[in-house]
Homo-oligomer: A and B are copies of this chain.
Amino acid sequence: MKPIIILIEPQMGENIGAAARAMANCGLSDMRIVNPRDGWPNERADAMSSGAFAKMNPVTIYQTTAQAIADCHYVYATTARPRDMVKPVLDAKEAAHDVIRRINDGQRCAFLFGPERTGLTNEDIALSHAILTIPTNPDFPSLNLGQGVLLCAYEWYQLHHRNAPIAAPAQPKPLPAPHEELNALFDRLENALKDGHFFKTQEMRPTVMRNLKNTLARAELTSQEINTLHGVITALGAKKTQ
């Protein structure tokens, strides 16, 4: 397994093609796209890719970020600006080390890239486990989409081909749950909190839920732990009726 590259709402086909070429240069095979502005397939992406798509698995298209990461165990949100969220912050080389270790453990991992102009939304970052920031010149920090993909893929490739796989831990570490289980837990929790009048105003609800998601995503919950938390929600809601 190798890291998956996920482009969220990319605007220009040229950038998708450049990202694909960078992926193929570094031996990556799996690109997913959420809502490409100009649809898919895209002639400009093909032209810019110099034939890279033929070296990769077919690109898959999704409607939402949550759907695109549903089967992923660990997700890195790439962003130029540090955000005010409590998550691990890695640079591209640190992320390469981290993702190789996780893939050796059997985790399916993805790097998320936001739209060219705006970058990832806070909501997409809240769905991620870690933040990946590439150190660049503070006076001119913004990387082109294809360049950002290249640097992440390059660091992975250099490590992947230089180092033998790291020795497996004595006991296999449990995998974090696939993201769809985490989403189902979030949905249930949000509904239960709404019923419990937890949100003082309707406006604060997205922010509060994003903070809770950040908290829980950081814990890298296993499927068993998610089941336990479902039980916790049930039990807490049941207590007044016993």
Contact = CB atoms under 8 A, between A and B. Distances in A.
Interface of A: 18, 21-22, 24-27, 50-52, 55, 81-84, 86, 89, 91, 93, 133, 135-137, 139-144, 146-147, 150-151, 154, 157-158, 161, 166-171, 173-174, 189, 192-193, 195-198, 208, 211-212, 215-216, 218-222, 225, 228-229, 231-242
Contact of A196 (B170, B171, B242): B242
B157 A137 contact: yes
A161 B91 CA distance: 13
Nearest to A93: B158
Contacts of A24: 137, 139-140
14 contacts: A24-B137, A24-B140, A25-B147, A55-B140, A82-B170, A84-B170, A86-B173, A93-B158, A135-B167, A147-B147, A189-B232, A196-B235, A196-B238, A198-B232
Contact of A239 (B26, B166, B237): B237
B196 A239 contact: yes
Given A25-B141, A147-B147, A169-B82, A211 B225 contact: yes
A24 B86 CA distance: 30
Contact of A86 (B83, B154, B222): B222
A57 to B, nearest CB: 14
Given A192-B236, A237-B240, A135 B157 contact: yes
Given A86-B173, A192-B236, A135 B231 contact: no
Contacts of A139: 24, 27, 55
A136 B26 contact: yes
B225 A221 contact: no
Among A142, A189, A215, max chain B CB count under 10 A is at A215
A141 B25 CA distance: 5
A220 B221 contact: no
Contacts of A154: 151, 154
A218 B219 contact: yes
Given A140-B52, A235-B197, A228 B240 contact: no
Nearest to A81: B170
Contacts of A242: 195-197
A202 to B, nearest CB: 15
Contact of A215 (B151, B221, B233): B221
